[in-house]
Structure 1
């Protein structure tokens, strides 16, 4: 029996505003689509939080025994400044500023995106399609939407007719907006004069003469609208109806609202059964923004070379910190909060590493089965990782009590405890075991740390405890944990 048959997972569905029992379209298969990055700059921490949140979802669904097809796109064309209908493509603008080809920009920042997510230990998606790789399919779906009467051509561009669609469906059902309020709050701009109504959005844009990225179409040389690519790529690989669509809270309107409208207009079917949205990050209590300087890139966090946090935190600790908040809640990054999270992470990993050395008894005085189910209950409650982590710390208390022999554990339960902790810490939460997280330069790094351990031992033998403590503390700040034992000093990397 698969685990998903024993566990009842509930997901908060943004479109209903309620937690709903998860029932996939096909019993043991799950189709999940998550909006990926627009690759014109380094991926920022807010994006990383979204992708870590859905990595958690992906990992848990797989753990439950579902066969998951996880599709996450790369937006490499058609995304205008501030998601506007006019102006310069973000990728083309970066290409012009750096005097390189647009696809060089795409390649550079796609590589950065993959590198950062690998450091965070995110699993790669099942399929990672690109917008430019699906131009033909986007043109074909535009033809279908026009034929069904929900889009129109104007001066080489094609627009989705929101008011016509709203006559039959409900535009605004995901974001909770009424079309009447949208009309009342919209001011017509001269640059939007090709549109019949200001609410209409572009399916295809005619390229201006200076626009670099362009493709031929029945209407003009141009490029597809930003919203269209996700409709095309999600339905191509997951079907006209699929289980889960995720993204950041900021995409709920207009992007996801437009996806629903396009999907229903093209197929007559509501494309997504469960909409999920991850909330935003703040930094030191304020909104992250490049313009104010209240901003930090992942690499700046890992290296400590920044003026905002001022201390290095490993990807492992940063991931753990993000998972200590529920994906639907706002999370504030600060040095104090990260430092507290780092201590907690180290306690968890140290406790897990010490299980093999626990004294064994003929019988246990802990209720392992009840605790294990409480861990599943946390994840079944809309992927509640902070509650799960609290349950894992209950196991840390047990482990410490068993060491002190105020609690007892049998050999069988000891194996079970280690397996359950391994499943939740590493397979589901996606943390890296500190003893196994060395990178490609592991041999050189190991040698350097071993040398520092010897120098520290010499300092201690000479009663130079100031130097000894300094070596230990500075290594810890870099994410390298020293552990003194009866057989000498070992280290792990967080």
Structure 2
């Protein structure tokens, strides 16, 4: 259903500082790019919150009937320590410390990233490109920027000329920074002698002999700058101008500012219509930091082991907790906060469960149409999940009134109430229906037990070919059978 035709969605645009009516470039289609992780360590909870915000936004676009191309990259090269132009690539540094290939580091932490997001019930993006897979495109963009006169080569490296660009454009428009003030306040650092100005940033860096990840280019053997990869991948898959670019608030400067400059230098126009930024996650009122120990890893929430939590919580509860804050607000993660969220989550789930057994009446005494519209109004106001959740609890209040015989709904209104509660809870907010998952698990166990029994009968009848076929085909599906003294058991790999 093309619900977007009946919904007026407003999005807060970081570029203008205002909520703006969302009008996609192509009707019925949305192109959205979100900066993904740098895969040199385990994904941290702050990253999870950012990606969860855009997962929710992706889900709502899909619910409205848009065809969405959601691109979220994997940064597997070119991200320098402290996000400056001089230093050691984080992936290469980790590989050198552990004495493994850089791509082993990339693979390990990409798998970890996907495993964590799966726990929190994320939808996969439409495309998940890697920086190393788009070196040719990045080199081509560097070449175009040089041709346009906004970059210069020196000693095998290529730098973006910020001052030259600012003569005809506005470097700092996204972050609200002034180039003259930035130049005046920038201290000299090692290696900046190659630059015309301290604010110039690397498009391509010469690889020193000890640098592991390197590629040939017209300027010598080297590797791309961090900002360049997102420009290359976003425009390759979404076009020179696309609808939405998202990421964490910490990426606004310099990363996204540099992206805008690179795109405008190449094409002469702005690359993105709506810039969106998710705010940070704090822990007990302080910034999360591995170095200070004020940190929780995502798996510590549902597996335990964190000194900050009194018990384990399901990923569903953690997701619900995060959705209770607006994506542009700072969210403070506390033990008391997630305990309170768990109580609310359980009340919501119980209400949805009760709803299935309610019987319709002959008349409706509750205004379900207005309540449903309030749910859409909340999401249409820059994806306001806290207000949406408040409305969902109002729906649960209706459920309890009907259960207690104090209110009635016609069959049509009861259906609307049920569909709206289920859609916004499971499809939009992204809560996993644990009862459905449990039921599916029970069904799977029943089917596997039946196949185990058939295999035992086949072996008793000396039909070993069928017995082996059952075992091997289950193994191909990731279900391993284990024969023991107590019988045959199975595990899912």
Deviation of residue 359 (structure 1)?
3.4
CA contact (8 A) 1:33 1:234 kept: yes
Q: How many angstroms apart in 1 are the aligned matches of 2:265 and 2:179? A: 17
CA contact (8 A) 1:288 1:294 kept: yes
Provide Cα deviations, 1:251-276, integer angstroms capped at 9, x if missing partner.
00000000000000011110000000
Q: 1:333 — aligned with what?
A: 333
CA contact (8 A) 1:231 1:263 kept: yes
Deviation of residue 443 (structure 1)?
7.9
CA contact (8 A) 1:157 1:202 kept: yes
Secondary structure of 2:407 counterpart: coil
Deviation of residue 436 (structure 1)?
2.2
Q: How many angstroms apart in 2 are the aligned matches of 1:441 and 1:415? A: 27
Moved more, 37-46 or 83-92: 83-92
Q: 1:21 — aligned with what?
A: 21
Q: How many angstroms apart in 1 are the aligned matches of 2:36 and 2:208? A: 27
Mind listing any 5+ residue stretches in structure 1 that lack a counterpart?
A: 447-494
Deviation of residue 299 (structure 1)?
0.6
Q: 1:474 — aligned with what?
A: none
Work out whether 1:33 is the aligned partner of 2:23: no
Q: How many angstroms apart in 1 are the aligned matches of 2:282 and 2:441? A: 33
Q: 1:233 — aligned with what?
A: 233
Q: How many angstroms apart in 2 are the aligned matches of 1:77 and 1:169? A: 29
Moved more, 307-316 or 388-397: 307-316
Q: 1:309 — aligned with what?
A: 309
CA contact (8 A) 2:86 2:190 kept: no
Q: 1:451 — aligned with what?
A: none
Provide Cα deviations, 1:359-413, integer angstroms capped at 9, x if missing partner.
3210111111000000000000000000000000001111111111111122222
Q: 1:138 — aligned with what?
A: 138
Q: How many angstroms apart in 2 are the aligned matches of 1:127 and 1:213? A: 24
TM-score of the superposition, structure 1-length normalised?
0.88
CA contact (8 A) 1:35 1:246 kept: yes
Secondary structure of 1:57 counterpart: helix
Provide Cα deviations, 1:122-149, integer angstroms capped at 9, x if missing partner.
1000000000000011001100000000
Moved more, 160-169 or 350-359: 350-359
CA contact (8 A) 2:79 2:226 kept: yes
Q: How many angstroms apart in 1 are the aligned matches of 2:445 and 2:76? A: 37
Secondary structure of 1:276 counterpart: strand
Q: 1:449 — aligned with what?
A: none
Q: How many angstroms apart in 2 are the aligned matches of 1:403 and 1:84? A: 61
Deviation of residue 310 (structure 1)?
3.4
- Within 5 A, what are the aligned runs for 1:44-443? 44-438=44-438
Q: How many angstroms apart in 2 are the aligned matches of 1:193 and 1:79? A: 21
Deviation of residue 313 (structure 1)?
1.0
Provide Cα deviations, 1:51-74, integer angstroms capped at 9, x if missing partner.
000011101111111111000000
Deviation of residue 440 (structure 1)?
9.7
Structure 1 residues 178 and 442, CA, compared in 2 at 3 Å: closer, same or farther? farther
Q: How many angstroms apart in 2 are the aligned matches of 1:95 and 1:176? A: 37
Q: Aligned pairs, how many?
A: 446
Q: 1:484 — aligned with what?
A: none
Secondary structure of 2:56 counterpart: helix
Q: How many angstroms apart in 2 are the aligned matches of 1:265 and 1:47? A: 30
Deviation of residue 356 (structure 1)?
2.0
CA contact (8 A) 2:78 2:225 kept: yes
Q: How many angstroms apart in 2 are the aligned matches of 1:53 and 1:107? A: 25
- Within 5 A, what are the aligned runs for 1:432-471? 432-438=432-438
Secondary structure of 2:85 counterpart: coil
Q: How many angstroms apart in 1 are the aligned matches of 2:439 and 2:118? A: 11
Secondary structure of 1:383 counterpart: coil
Report the RMSD for the aligned CA atoms in angstroms. Answer: 1.5
Secondary structure of 1:354 counterpart: helix
Q: 2:462 — aligned with what?
A: none
Q: How many angstroms apart in 2 are the aligned matches of 1:39 and 1:165? A: 32
Provide Cα deviations, 1:319-362, integer angstroms capped at 9, x if missing partner.
11000000000001111000000110111111011112123210
Provide Cα deviations, 1:225-257, integer angstroms capped at 9, x if missing partner.
000000000000000000000000000000000
Q: How many angstroms apart in 1 are the aligned matches of 2:284 and 2:373? A: 36
Q: How many angstroms apart in 1 are the aligned matches of 2:252 and 2:342? A: 33
CA contact (8 A) 1:24 1:30 kept: yes
Moved more, 346-355 or 249-258: 346-355
Secondary structure of 2:97 counterpart: helix
Q: How many angstroms apart in 2 are the aligned matches of 1:435 and 1:351? A: 13
Structure 1 residues 293 and 359, CA, compared in 2 at 3 Å: closer, same or farther? same
Q: How many angstroms apart in 2 are the aligned matches of 1:277 and 1:431? A: 22
Provide Cα deviations, 1:438-493, integer angstroms capped at 9, x if missing partner.
499768999xxxxxxxxxxxxxxxxxxxxxxxxxxxxxxxxxxxxxxxxxxxxxxx
CA contact (8 A) 1:349 1:434 kept: no
Structure 1 residues 260 and 387, CA, compared in 2 at 3 Å: closer, same or farther? same
Q: How many angstroms apart in 1 are the aligned matches of 2:289 and 2:40? A: 16
Q: 2:478 — aligned with what?
A: none
Structure 1 residues 135 and 65, CA, compared in 2 at 3 Å: closer, same or farther? same
Provide Cα deviations, 1:200-244, integer angstroms capped at 9, x if missing partner.
000000011111000011111110000000000000000000000
